[in-house]
Structure 1
Amino acid sequence: MKTQAQAIKYLNSLEGKFVDFDNAFGFQCYDVANAYWYHTTGHKLYGLYAKNIPTDNNFTGYATVYNNTPSFLPLPGDLVVWNGNWGEGCGHVAVVTQANLSQFQVIENNWLGGGWVNGKPGWERATRRWHTYDFPMWFIRPHYAKSKPVIESIVKPKPKPTKKKFVLVAGHGYNDPGATGNGTNERDFIRKNIIDNVAKYLRSAGHTVTLYSKKQDMYQDTAYGYNRGDTKNYGLYWVKNKLKPDAVIEFHLDWSGSNASGGHVIKSAYAADGIDKGIQKALQDTVGTIRGITTRNDLLNVNVSYNQNINYRLVELGFITSKKDMDYIKKNLQSFTKAIASGINGKPIGGTPAGKSKKITWAWKGRFTANTLIRVRTTPSTKGKAVPKSDWIKKGQWVDFVSITKANGYWWIKFKYPNGANNKYFYCAVCRITDKNERIKKEKYWGKIKWK
């Protein structure tokens, strides 16, 4: 597989050429598509008619077929397939070079019928051309190889700054109130209760936070930029070019039947990062989640973020139609928004790393009697300082312990010597951890344990 950049470079090189991939019937639409597809993926396209490409080929594992919808945004490098209303019933196929929601540009063969004329190759070269969308229509996207970084010199990388620039966006706006339920609407509730509080906590952690104007609607602004072909001055484009944030977080409230409950994070095809996972965990620990982190390709801002390489996610905070969700958020507004901010921050605001620390010590008591010589240490770790060998626990000797700790692949007990000569606590391992569920009472000890 080629990277997307390699694929687009090759695609652009085809413009103006006579492309006859199969050396048959001149310069057919199939030829440009097949030349590009074989170069990019190593696979050929099969089928008698272009319209059947989505069904006559097995794209499993290396490409994805998308049905066109009014909100679908093609990406450069996508194959586009027309239905049988075109090409005298055969359909048509081309390769996308750029797109907005109203039209898209391609490089293609034989749109004007000049690829095969009077029984011989014709006059029509591979041409760059704009088209409008049709229904049904299909787009096929390769699973490109990942780009490798260019290493110009061997230098020690600079540590990434811990403080970041965030842009917070309240969903909907202008004359669009979004979803409604439980006495409020999505647009107004998020502007009044959510983004200022999340911003407050992020700023307290030292981050720079900008709020997208509450008087505007980033979705409508971005769509306006799409339709004008302006990729700098409107909506998410403007956010990228003017604010240059490390991440963009857009907040919404979901809508469904009254029984639906819980939030989730929506993102583009880029892998979920620490921010996505942090917000998802915060939702799970508060209002709950209805599903995991979800990849979507039918949302405008999600598609723009993918195409423009913007670190963006859309957060559904819960269901505005759920009394349970809305009561929780309203009652726990400060702790809820602080949890969301902590998820973005990567650790609790003003605290230790986000998430609950894994428990490794339990206050279980008992008496351990050794059946072999066991080393004693000052801490429950294989790196802990060992006491003199004369003070190790010998075969037949016992100690009363007050807790157990799981560390370094061993179970450790905490004890004081029974003779009272030293009033400090010491530690020794009583067995290796071999049980797949790490249950100490299922292990084979280096002696006997009588639990108290």
Structure 2
Amino acid sequence: MTVNKTKAQAIAYMKTLKGKGWDFDGAFGWQCFDLSNMQWNYLTGGKLYGYYAKDIPFENNFNGLATVYKNTPSFLPEEGDIFVMDEKYGEGAGHTGTVWSANLNTFVGLEQNWYGGGRYKTEVAQLVTHTYDMNMYFIRPHYKAKASVVSKVKDKVFKPSTSKTKGKKILIASGHGYNDPGAVANGTNERDFIRKYIAPNVQKYLKQAGHTVDLYGGSKQDQNLYTDTAYGERLGDTKNYGMYWVKQQKYDIVVELHLDAASASATGGHVIISNQWPADKIDKDINNCLKATVGTIRGIDPRNDLLNANVSGRLNINYRLVEMGFITNKKDMNYLKKNYDKFSKELAGAINGKAIGGTSGGSKKAKQTKQTKWNWKGRFTPNTAIKVRTSPSINGKVVSNNVLSFTRVKTIKFNFIVKADGYWWISYTSKGKTYYSAICKITDNKEKVKNEKYWGKLKWNW
């Protein structure tokens, strides 16, 4: 692959993109990545790779094709450069486009989906002015010095070498099954958690991306891929059971999902593949997905001592086993329980090869803020001495060691509740001022106040 256009040709082509919407890969409408790929495809006949836009500088080999510059206070982009913004933009996915003009204070980009209209094809390629960010990258193609007569003629009839994304046939297999629950810890078991919370959601998101997706054992997921493969081997039946049956169905991608188990301190996921074949893009994307979510305990792990991996290697099935974290680690499981839908979407995106659904480039990554206050009123009658504080915190100033003697009432009417410092607090007014008292420790796994054991009797509403 070479850059076979001059800079003048590249800029002229870039200007033809303005005012129209471009869907290079045929998926999720007019994304920012599509526009940069239109430009790159025109220059080279190839395409840019990356799970997200932010990955472009790192997931492509630009040797001999372009120079990648990281922004500095003195760097000045040039017209036609491809710019890439980091994860602060696009809700973590980054953003990209081409440079229309620039000075040392701002630059103007030609781009799509900055305002979020790309997925629904309501936002065409347009000019947007940006200030600089230290983590921006600019990719400057090594243009051809002079255009040939042939290339000038081709410019008149150029059509991008794009193709609609063709859906894959995918199998998602939840680990264990039948009477085998898998590992058990932290209030759940491997078999049931994956079947209820992860596999169906991964299937849902992959279907949204246009793939045909089956769950092993059907919608009930009432089979065990390992047990079925072993049964087929015992019978000498290499067509009808487990991985041998999978081979007959001609799946393009097979993903088996598990939760690891070890000491309580072990944490993070990893991807297991057959040692017969090197890791492919799907394996690498899933590994990156794990890094960004539960973390990883090790890199991609080629194995020759696992039945399904060995059979997949012999039969040339595109298979991997994904350990999604440790069921024996409280942090891993708390993350998966609280974020199972988000995690499933990220995992589906890794299998898909790009994020599912797209994001608005102009939407900076939101800081994760958890609700800590609820405007729920009620009555609380303590059955023990509880401190009165000026703020809902264990560090709040104590004005009394007993709320009953302080307020001189048996039942306290509170105005709202607060979650802080591992406790639930009520807020009430006494003597014209606002005070707080803890009513219980937070012990419920889902941190729901109505599931807690209070230090007294609580009734909601006045």
**TM-based fold match above 0.5:** no
Structure with max Cα Rg: 1
Instruction: Return the structure number with greater relative CO, CA threshold 8 A, min gap 6.
Output: 2
